[in-house]
């Protein structure tokens, strides 16, 4: 049974995981840096890179120990090679290269977005290609038609902010701290969205792109104008975000052609209100709705190991590796 060590370090999570080809996660560890970045209300690249450099080696050693395994037991080393914060990506990729060299194992340089795109298949063996994926995280907001391993068609993307970023900035404006998504969702549940009129950028436009900068500014203006309950602002923001997401996803479904499922991944997939709206959209189209468990939605190393396993299966065995001079990508 093929066994891959996955390494993820592209944002503010240092993570390692051991995953087998039959979808078993033998061990995984995630060291979050939320505390280090909280005073700044967002991820500080320099702080993130240093934290990755301190943590990554002991974290990998501990993950192997958790599974009672050694480097020699692993068939390949998969690591995020980008896109992400370059300092962190370099730490993870160079560590993977060193382990690949030391253990004489193939290196699998994985695109972080490919990790997110394929992670639903780690959780759900029945999920087959093609599917439409909404990938919404702190750094990305894309609609991808996933046709197969290595075959992704981007139908839409954000022209400014990512959706998670908009949640984080809204949280900052409302004084809710970092990371903001869960806090905004909690507060929104107690508010009335109708009390604060907010824009729905790009709604109804002919390509399924996203824009959240104008919405973010409108939240700031509503806050500065005063007189609004923060819970109502949170609810109005979340409702505007949902309306945009559903309109854009509906259009992408129309453009995608036949698909078997609508899938959501990325940190924002943790939002239950967004999930519910997407589930209803899928049901309206007679489609399966797939949302991986939250631990697989946010940044993690199991999805990187799994993307490596998918690639090996598609390309024929662990012989399919990347060169040791593979470049890290910001
Ligand atoms: O995928 P992820 O862990 O990291 C990357 O950005 O790649 O996503 C983190 C993002 C953050 O912006 C966070 O605020 C958002 O996902 N998020 C949420 C929720 N939980 C996390 N956004 C809305 N509602 C949530 N419940
Ligand atoms: Zn991510």
pLDDT of residue 230: 98
- The answer to whether the CB of 198 falls within 8 A of the CB of 147 is no
Over residues 133-155, the pLDDT tens digits come to 999 998 889 999 999 999 999 99
Q: How many CB atoms lie within 10 A of CB 30?
A: 18
Is residue 227 a known part of a binding site?
no
pLDDT of residue 294: 87
pLDDT of residue 38: 85
Is residue 41 a known part of a binding site?
no
Tokens of 187: 């507060």
Residues 6+ apart with CB under 8 A from 105: 71, 74, 75, 76, 77, 99, 318
| Nearest ligand to the CA atom of 116 | 2
pLDDT of residue 86: 97
**Domains along the chain with CATH numbers:** 3-117+298-315 (3.30.420.40), 126-291 (3.30.420.40)
Angstrom distance (rounded) from CA 74 to CA 64: 9
Give the distance (Å) from ligand 2 centre to CA of residue 15: 12
- The answer to whether the CB of 239 falls within 8 A of the CB of 276 is no
Name the residues around ion ligand 2, CB cutoff 5 A: 137, 299
Tokens of 51: 């934290």
- The answer to whether the CB of 298 falls within 8 A of the CB of 326 is no
ipTM of the complex: 0.98
- Helix 181-188 / helix 230-256 crossing angle, nearest 10 deg: 110
Is residue 192 a known part of a binding site?
no
pLDDT tens digits, the chain, 330 residues: what are they? Answer: 999 999 999 999 999 999 999 999 999 999 988 888 888 877 899 999 999 999 999 999 999 999 999 999 999 999 999 999 999 999 999 999 999 999 999 999 999 999 999 999 999 999 999 999 999 998 889 999 999 999 999 999 999 999 999 999 999 999 998 779 999 999 999 999 999 999 999 999 999 999 999 999 999 999 999 999 999 999 999 999 999 999 999 999 999 999 999 999 998 999 999 999 999 999 999 999 999 998 998 899 999 999 999 999 998 765 669 999 999 999
Give residue ranges with CB within 6 A of ligand 1.
11, 137-139, 164-165, 167-168, 179-182, 185, 266-268, 270-271, 298-299
| Nearest ligand to the CA atom of 168 | 1
| Nearest ligand to the CA atom of 266 | 1
Give the length of the chain.
330
Q: Which atom of ligand 1 is nearest to the CA of 139?
A: 6
Give the distance (Å) from ligand 1 centre to CA of residue 267: 3
Nearest CA to ligand 1 atom 10: 138
pLDDT of residue 318: 55
Q: 257-285: string of b/e by CB count within 10 Å (b at 16+)?
A: eebebbbbbbbbbbbeebbebbbebbeee
Q: How many CB atoms lie within 10 A of CB 246?
A: 16
Is residue 319 a known part of a binding site?
no
Is residue 138 a known part of a binding site?
yes
């Amino acid at each position: 049974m093929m066994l891959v060590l996955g390494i993820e370090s592209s944002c503010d999570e240092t993570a390692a995981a051991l995953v087998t080809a039959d979808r078993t996660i033998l061990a995984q560890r995630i060291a979050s840096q939320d505390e280090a970045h909280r005073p700044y209300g967002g991820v500080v690249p320099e702080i993130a890179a240093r934290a990755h450099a301190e943590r990554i080696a002991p974290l990998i050693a501990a993950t192997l120990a958790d599974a009672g395994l050694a480097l020699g037991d692993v068939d390949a080393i998969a690591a995020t090679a980008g896109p992400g914060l370059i300092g962190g990506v370099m730490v993870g990729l160079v560590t993977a290269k060193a382990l690949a060299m030391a253990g004489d194992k193939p290196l699998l340089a994985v695109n972080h977005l490919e990790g997110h795109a394929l992670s639903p298949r780690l959780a759900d063996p029945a999920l087959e290609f093609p599917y439409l994926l909404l990938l919404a995280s702190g750094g990305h907001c894309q609609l991808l038609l996933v046709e197969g391993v290595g075959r992704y068609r981007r139908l839409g993307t954000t022209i400014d902010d990512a959706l998670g970023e908009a949640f984080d900035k809204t949280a900052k404006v409302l004084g809710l701290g970092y990371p903001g998504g869960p806090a905004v969702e909690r507060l929104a549940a107690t508010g009335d969205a109708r009390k604060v009129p907010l824009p729905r950028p790009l709604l109804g436009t002919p390509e399924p792109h996203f824009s959240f900068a104008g919405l973010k500014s409108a939240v700031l203006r509503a806050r500065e104008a005063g007189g609004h309950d923060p819970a109502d602002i949170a609810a109005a923001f979340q409702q505007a975000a949902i309306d945009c997401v559903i309109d854009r996803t509906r259009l992408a479904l129309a453009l995608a052609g036949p698909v078997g499922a609508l899938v959501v991944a990325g940190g924002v997939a943790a939002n239950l209100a967004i999930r519910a709206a997407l589930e209803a959209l899928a049901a309206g189209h007679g489609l399966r709705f797939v949302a991986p468990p939250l631990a697989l939605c946010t940044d993690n190393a199991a999805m990187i190991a799994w993307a490596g396993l998918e690639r090996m299966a598609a390309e024929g065995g662990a012989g399919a590796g990347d060169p040791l001079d593979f470049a890290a990508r910001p």
